[in-house]
Amino acid sequence: KNQVEQSPQSLIILEGKNCTLQCNYTVSPFSNLRWYKQDTGRGPVSLTIMTFSENTKSNGRYTATLDADTKQSSLHITASQLSDSASYICVVSAASGTYKYIFGTGTRLKVLA
Amino acid sequence: AAGVIQSPRHLIKEKRETATLKCYPIPRHDTVYWYQQGPGQDPQFLISFYEKMQSDKGSIPDRFSAQQFSDYHSELNMSSLELGDSALYFCASRMDSRFGNEQFFGPGTRLTVL
C-alpha cells in the first residue's frame, strides 16, 4: 500500500532556531517528492520538488534532502521565523496513471517569539 | 500570476441538503483534482478529470458527483450532506504537458454541515 508518514507530528521551537522534519514513504513506482507548507485554512503551497536522482534541494531557508534507497526525505528549516508556523506536508507522486498525490500526515510547526 | 480559484470560500449547510463547489483552474491547465481534508487530517483524494473526462477516482462517496466543463472549470456536487462531510475541500489543477507536472492548489472551500 502506498503510504507517506511524517514525524514528528508536531513541533514547537523558538524563533531563530533550526529544525528538521522527517518523511518516510513506501510509494512505488516513485516519481517525485514535494514538501508543501499549509497555513491553517489555506491551500498547500509548494516549497520544493525532488526527483529520484536529486539528493538535496534548497529554497531560501528551506533545504530538502532525499534518499531514494531508504525512501526517506527531510526538510530542514534554518533560522526559523514566526511566519514559518504552519503545517508541513510531504507529498509523494507515483509514476503511474494520473500522477495522483499521496499526502503525508503532516507536521504542525509552531514558532514562538 | 493567476491561481486556482474556488468558490464559495465558506459554505454552511444543514444535514440532508445539497452543496455545489466550484473550481476554476489556472489558464491552460487541463487536469483538475478534488481533495477533502478533515480537521487535523491530511487531504484525501476524491476524484480527478483530464480534458473533461474522469481520469481517476479515489474515496469519493456515492452521494458526491463531479464533472469538468468545456471551459475546464469543475464542480463538485454533494447531496444528502452528513455531519462528517464538514471539511476543507481543495481543488488543484495541473497542465498535462510533461511528466510529473505539479499540481497547484486553490485556497479551498470550507464546508460546515450543521
- Identify which of B56, B100, B107 has the shortest CB distance to residue A97: B56
Count of beta carbons in the 10 Å neighbourhood of residue B67: 15
Place of cell 473526462: B53
- The pairing of strands A72-77 and B44-50 is unpaired
Summary mean pLDDT of chain B: 91
Q: Write the pLDDT tens digit of every residue in B5-47.
A: 999 999 999 999 999 999 999 998 889 999 999 887 888 889 9
Q: Write the pLDDT tens digit of every residue in B66-80.
A: 999 999 999 999 999
Count of beta carbons in the 10 Å neighbourhood of residue A82: 10
Beta-carbon contacts of residue B9 (< 8 Å; ≥ 6 apart): B107, B108, B109, B110
What does the pLDDT read at residue B52?
92
Interface test with A, best of B89, B102, B111 (most A CBs within 10 A): B102
Beta-carbon contacts of residue A31 (< 8 Å; ≥ 6 apart): A51, A52, A92, A93, A94, A95, A99, B99, B100
Distance (Å) from the alpha carbon of A39 to chain B's nearest alpha carbon: 10
Q: What is the interface size between A and B, counted as CB pairs within 8 Å?
A: 57
Q: Does B77 touch chain A (CB under 8 A)?
A: no
Residues belonging to chain A: 113
Q: What distance in Å separates the CA atoms of residue B38 and residue A25, rounded to the nearest whole number?
A: 22
Q: Write the pLDDT tens digit of every residue in A40-80.
A: 878 888 898 888 888 999 999 999 999 989 999 999 999 99
Q: Does B36 touch chain A (CB under 8 A)?
A: no
Across the interface, whether the CB atoms of B43 and A44 are under 8 A apart is answered yes
Residue A28 pLDDT greater than 60, yes or no: yes
Q: Which DSSP letter does residue B26 get?
A: P
